[in-house]
């Protein structure tokens, strides 16, 4: 078994692909907050490619984690000098394993918040990128920033020792402004519509609460490009970690497994420079919105539609669900008749072939994505991923049986057991407090009246509410599979049905 750190980098097996640049010459020009599997399999891959090009040595990454639960990642990155392996798995079972060398620094904020502020304030850092999850932006359905969040309140009261992402971003920008240092670009890599605009809204709202003049400077001087990111990257559990050790023969405490598909569409709004990502596969565009919309309405929404019904039915792997004809047909119907009808093909993204490719990707046996991962954070995902499609369906009188079934399954999932009575952890990091009444309620109406999650159109649509209640009862009496088999859009939702 090969050791993974800077001293042993040249001794890795020849089967491990290396990027082909001199890592000792690279310095960090990007700080990334939220070092997890997705960032390391996506943005870091593109950056690794760019660093192999001449003159790109100033675009290495300084990884930063902020949360107590990131302690294991912090330990791994420190021990391994920021190195890790990524194994890209194709549907046909072939794979490529590579070592990623672009993370040349790493900081763990709970140990030394001042070191993080100092790094973000340094002129070398010209981009700060984020993967902090959809709910991490603390914006409600109206785009209002949550100033009452405990971490936000702490950071506003203690600007010299922040704990949260906005305390660090705004604190560092304040230092740069005072020192006359050009601001960094803030680049969201999360699955949000207009993720750059969302990041701007959150950062500026925090800054206004701290210093209105600073907020005005940020609005005027800081770039927040929108981007669409795409690569299925399961969480690496102990089973996957052992599988990857055997596959790579590398003793890696933080390996990543992902599919072989990768995509990044990005607006070219970087006022302080950027790597040559356009030369290594990133598609730059003036307006990323239609690409975001297509990806979120298709990939992310379909993942969400699958999650709770399949998990309740006893399935645990995404690929197992896709190889089940019933669940495959359910997702095919959602893509073709619910989400896909509102979208048009784009340059580099043909909607019919994209839908086909999605189902192939979800069914990739070699990736083995977990349904439990898809079940995380439904209270944040449903409003962002599903509601635009739901609203279009209701406004246009189209069948809504799949959506009603999905919400009935979500309500059942929130009771904390699957159909066999096995307990599961309800992982709602951003909407837990909001969903507590649903989890404790014996009435399925509690969820359907929660406008922060299901929006305002569903509770006002009596036909939808009636079908939802019928399906919720049927799931209790007959189970998810029998209920899904019974769905009949022609019978249950007449085309003219309106609120």
Distance between CA 163 and CA 112 in Å, rounded? 10
- CA proximity to 114, closest of 160, 148, 73, 150: 160
Task: Give the pLDDT score at 497.
Answer: 40
Task: Give the pLDDT score at 489.
Answer: 64
Same domain assignment for residues 143 and 45: yes
Domain count, the chain: 2
| Residue ranges making up the domain that contains 188 | 2-285
Domain CATH code at residue 187: 3.40.50.720
Tell me which of 285, 311, 327 is where a domain ends.
Answer: 285
For 133, the 3-state DSSP assignment is coil
- CA proximity to 267, closest of 280, 286, 283, 281: 286
- Give φ, ψ of 124 to 5 degrees: -60, -30
Task: Give the pLDDT score at 490.
Answer: 56
Q: Is residue 28 included in any domain, yes or no?
A: yes
Task: Give the pLDDT score at 134.
Answer: 87
Question: Which residues make beta-bridge pairs with 186?
Answer: 128
Measured over the CA atoms of residue 64, residue 383, residue 150 and residue 425, the dihedral's sign is: negative
Distance between CA 26 and CA 24 in Å, rounded? 6
Residues near 65 by Cβ (< 8 Å), separated by ≥ 6?
A: 33, 34, 35, 73, 74, 107, 108, 109
Domain CATH code at residue 333: 1.10.1040.10
DSSP label of 190: S
Same domain assignment for residues 179 and 312: no
Task: Give the pLDDT score at 494.
Answer: 41
> Consecutive sets of 10 residues in the chain, 499 residues long: mean pLDDT of each?
96 96 97 98 98 98 97 97 97 95 98 98 98 92 92 97 98 98 98 94 98 98 97 92 94 96 96 97 95 94 98 96 97 96 90 95 93 94 94 95 98 94 91 94 96 94 97 97 86 40
Q: Is residue 498 included in any domain, yes or no?
A: no
Tell me which of 254, 285, 316 is where a domain ends.
Answer: 285
Query: How many C-beta neighbours within 10 Å does residue 42 have?
Result: 22
Q: Is residue 499 included in any domain, yes or no?
A: no
């Amino acid at each position: 078994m090969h050791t993974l750190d800077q001293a042993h980098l040249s001794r890795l097996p020849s089967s491990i692909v290396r990027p082909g640049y001199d890592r000792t010459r690279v310095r960090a020009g990007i700080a990334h907050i939220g070092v997890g599997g997705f960032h390391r399999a996506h943005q870091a891959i593109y950056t690794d490619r760019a660093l192999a090009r001449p003159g790109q040595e100033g675009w290495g990454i300084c990884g930063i984690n902020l949360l107590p639960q990131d302690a294991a990642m912090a330990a791994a990155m420190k021990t391994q000098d920021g190195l890790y392996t990524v194994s890209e798995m194709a549907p046909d079972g072939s794979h490529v394993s590579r070592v990623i060398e672009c993370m040349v620094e790493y900081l763990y904020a709970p140990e030394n918040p001042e070191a993080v502020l100092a790094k973000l304030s340094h002129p070398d850092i010209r981009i700060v990128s984020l993967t902090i999850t959809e709910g991490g932006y603390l914006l409600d359905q109206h785009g209002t920033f949550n100033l009452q969040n405990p971490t936000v309140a702490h950071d506003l009261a203690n600007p010299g020792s922040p704990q949260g992402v906005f305390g660090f971003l705004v604190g560092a920008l304040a230092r740069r402004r005072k020192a006359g240092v050009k601001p960094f670009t803030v680049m969201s890599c999360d699955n949000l519509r207009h993720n750059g605009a969302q990041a701007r809204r959150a950062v500026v709202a925090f800054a206004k609460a701290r210093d209105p003049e600073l907020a005005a400077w940020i609005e005027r001087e800081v770039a927040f490009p929108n981007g669409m990111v795409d690569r299925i990257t399961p969480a690496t559990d102990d089973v996957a970690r052992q599988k990857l050790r055997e596959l790579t023969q590398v003793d890696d405490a933080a390996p990543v497994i992902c599919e072989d598909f990768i995509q990044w569409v990005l607006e070219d709004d970087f006022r302080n420079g950027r790597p040559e990502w356009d030369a290594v596969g990133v598609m730059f565009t003036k307006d990323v919105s239609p690409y975001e919309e297509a990806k979120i309405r298709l990939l992310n929404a379909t993942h969400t539609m699958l999650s709770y019904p399949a998990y309740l039915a006893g399935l645990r792997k995404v690929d197992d669900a896709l190889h089940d004809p019933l669940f495959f047909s359910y997702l095919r119907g959602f893509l073709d008749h619910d989400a896909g009808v509102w979208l048009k093909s784009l340059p580099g993204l043909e909607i019919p072939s994209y839908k086909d490719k999605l189902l192939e990707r979800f069914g990739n046996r070699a990736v083995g994505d977990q349904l439990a991962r898809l079940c995380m954070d439904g209270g944040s995902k449903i409003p962002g991923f599903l509601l635009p499609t739901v609203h279009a369906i209701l406004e246009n009188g189209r069948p809504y049986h799949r959506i009603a079934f999905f919400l009935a399954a979500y309500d059942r999932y929130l009771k904390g057991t699957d159909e066999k009575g096995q307990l599961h952890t309800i992982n709602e990091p951003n909407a837990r407090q909001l969903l507590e009444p649903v989890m404790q309620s014996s009435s399925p109406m509690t969820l359907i009246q929660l406008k922060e999650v299901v929006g305002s159109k569903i509770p006002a649509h009596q036909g939808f509410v009636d079908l939802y209640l019928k399906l919720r009862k049927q799931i209790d009496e007959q189970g998810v599979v029998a209920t899904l088999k019974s769905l009949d859009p022609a019978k249950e939702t007449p085309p003219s049905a309106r609120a």
